[in-house]
Amino acid sequence: MNTILVGTAAEHMTKEVDSVAPEMDTYEAIHRLVKNRVSAMPVVDDGGKLVGILSERDCLDAFLRAEYYESPPALVKDLMTAEVVSVERDTNILKVVELFSKKNFHYLPVVENDRLVGQISRKEVIRAIQEMR
């Protein structure tokens, strides 16, 4: 059976997404990761523009460096990954599946004009596939 995935990222994304700010303290960012039970969060500037991703790994690396070099944990902007893979609202869900298949991401930020408008997860894509049957 040949099935074609239809729909867009906007149709399957979560619209309410917590984020962290570039100037936020690392401890506050870790609190948000734990509170939201996620492994990464988008980093958004004051204008709502997506400027990076902060992952658990970024935080662990920062604390490891702090322990070895006796330096305090940095701000989010010093830890985040600035090169973000994201999708536009109108990205076809099949393209989203391809990205998840090629990369080890659990979530992808969804943007419109570089501004964060939501995120889509692997689970949401799996649900979309299941709904097709």
**Over the stretch 64-105, which tens digit does the pLDDT of each residue have?**
877 777 776 689 999 999 999 999 999 998 899 999 999 888
CATH number for the domain that contains residue 43: 3.10.580.10
Domain that holds residue 26: 9-131
Task: Examine residue 4 and state whether it is found in any structural domain, yes or no.
Answer: no
Task: Examine residue 1 and state whether it is found in any structural domain, yes or no.
Answer: no
**Over the stretch 110-120, which tens digit does the pLDDT of each residue have?**
999 999 999 99
Task: Examine residue 66 and state whether it is found in any structural domain, yes or no.
Answer: yes
Whole-prediction pTM value?
Answer: 0.85
Number of domain units in the chain? 1
With pLDDT > 70 as the criterion, what percentage of the chain qualifies? 94
Q: How many CB atoms lie within 10 A of CB 65?
A: 14
**Over the stretch 71-82, which tens digit does the pLDDT of each residue have?**
766 899 999 999
Q: Of 104, 106, 117, 132, which Cα lies nearest the Cα of 9?
A: 117
Task: Examine residue 3 and state whether it is found in any structural domain, yes or no.
Answer: no
Task: Examine residue 2 and state whether it is found in any structural domain, yes or no.
Answer: no
